[in-house]
C-alpha cells in the first residue's frame, strides 16, 4: 500500500500493539525504505542491513505494548530501534570502519534523482542544517550516529579531550534544533 494512503501512525501502532499484522505491514510500507536506508548507511552492506531491519521490525512487533507516545513518535521509536541494532552489529565487527563522512559523500552521489525528489522540505532542511554546521561539529555528530563511534573512541580518533567531543555534539545539535524550529515556524 502506498504510504500516503495508510492510516495514521497512531492507528498503525495500536494495531501493532494488538498483534495485528496490518499494523506491522503498514509501518513497513511507510518507513521500510527509510529504515533500510539508515541500516545500509551504517553498515555499508545490503545483507546485514536487511537483517537489521528484519530484527528491528520483529522487535517492534514484540515490544509495541511498551511504546509510550509521550516519549516520541512512532517514526522516531522505530528508527531508534533500527539505529541501535545497526550500531550493535557494526561494533561487533572487527573490520575497520570507514570515516562516515567520506562514505556519505560517495553514497549521496549515487542517489537517484527520483528518490531525491520525494524528500520533503523538512528533510531538505535537516540536510542543510547538518551541512551548515562547522566541520568539527558535523563530523563529530556523523561519526557518532552513522559511524557507531563512542565518545571515548571519538576523542581518540579526533585527538581531542572527551569534553570537547561532548561540547561539539551539544552545540551542533542545538544549532540543528534552531534550524529545524525555524523552518517549522
Partner 1 sequence: MTEHVSDDLELYALGALRPGEADRVTAHLAMCPACREELNEVAAVVNALPDMVPLREPPAGLKQRILSAAAADAAAARSALLPSRERAWSIRPTRAWLPVGALAAVAILLLALDLNSLNELRAAENQRAEYALIADKVSHGGRNWYMVGLDQWQGSGGTLFAPGKPDLAPFVVFHDLRPLAGGAMYTVWLVDADGHWVRGANFAPNRDAIQSVELSVPVDAFAQCAVTIEMQTSGKRSGPLVMQSRIAPGP
Q: Which of residues 76-135 bind partner 1 (CB under 8 A)?
A: 76, 79-80, 83-84, 87, 89, 92-94, 104, 107-108, 110-111, 115-116, 118-119, 122-123, 126-127, 130
SS3 105: helix
With beta carbons less than 8 A apart as the criterion, state whether 29 and 3 touch.
yes
Cβ of residue 12: shortest distance to partner 1, in angstroms?
14
Cβ of residue 36: shortest distance to partner 1, in angstroms?
4
Scan residues 125-184 and list those touching partner 1 (CB under 8 A).
126-127, 130, 141, 144-146, 148-152, 154, 165-166, 169-170, 173, 176-177, 180
Cβ of residue 119: shortest distance to partner 1, in angstroms?
7
With beta carbons less than 8 A apart as the criterion, state whether 136 and 168 touch.
yes
Tell me how many residues contact partner 1 (CB under 8 A): 72
What is the radius of gyration, based on Cα positions, of the chain? 17
Cβ of residue 2: shortest distance to partner 1, in angstroms?
14
CA dihedral angle for residue 170, residue 33, residue 16, residue 8, rounded to 10 degrees:
80
What is the spatial distance between Cα 44 and Cα 55, in angstroms, rounded to a whole number?
17
Cell (9 digits) for 160: 581531542
Does 33 contact partner 1 by CB under 8 A? yes
- Count of C-beta atoms within a 10 Å radius of residue 7: 15
Binding string, residues 46-65; x marks residues near partner 1 by CB under 8 A: xxx-xx-xx--xx--xx---
Amino acid at each position: 500500500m502506498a504510504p500516503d494512503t495508510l492510516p495514521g501512525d497512531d492507528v498503525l501502532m495500536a494495531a501493532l500493539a494488538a498483534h495485528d499484522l496490518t499494523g506491522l505491514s503498514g509501518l513497513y510500507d511507510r518507513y521500510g525504505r527509510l529504515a533500510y536506508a539508515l541500516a545500509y548507511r551504517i553498515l555499508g552492506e545490503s545483507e546485514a542491513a536487511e537483517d537489521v531491519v528484519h530484527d528491528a521490525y520483529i522487535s517492534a512487533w514484540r515490544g509495541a505494548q511498551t511504546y509510550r507516545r509521550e516519549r516520541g513518535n512512532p517514526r522516531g521509536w522505530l528508527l531508534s530501534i533500527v539505529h541501535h541494532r545497526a550500531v550493535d552489529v557494526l561494533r561487533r565487527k572487527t573490520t575497520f570502519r570507514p570515516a562516515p563522512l567520506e562514505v556519505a559523500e560517495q553514497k549521496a552521489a549515487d542517489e537517484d534523482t527520483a528518490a531525491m525528489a520525494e524528500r520533503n522540505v523538512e528533510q531538505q532542511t535537516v540536510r542543510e542544517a547538518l551541512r551548515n554546521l562547522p566541520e568539527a561539529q558535523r563530523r563529530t555528530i556523523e561519526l557518532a550516529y552513522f559511524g557507531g563511534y563512542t565518545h571515548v573512541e571519538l576523542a581518540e580518533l579526533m585527538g581531542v579531550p572527551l569534553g570537547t567531543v561532548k561540547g561539539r555534539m551539544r552545540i551542533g545539535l542545538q544549532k540543528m534544533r534552531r534550524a529545524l524550529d525555524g523552518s517549522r515556524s
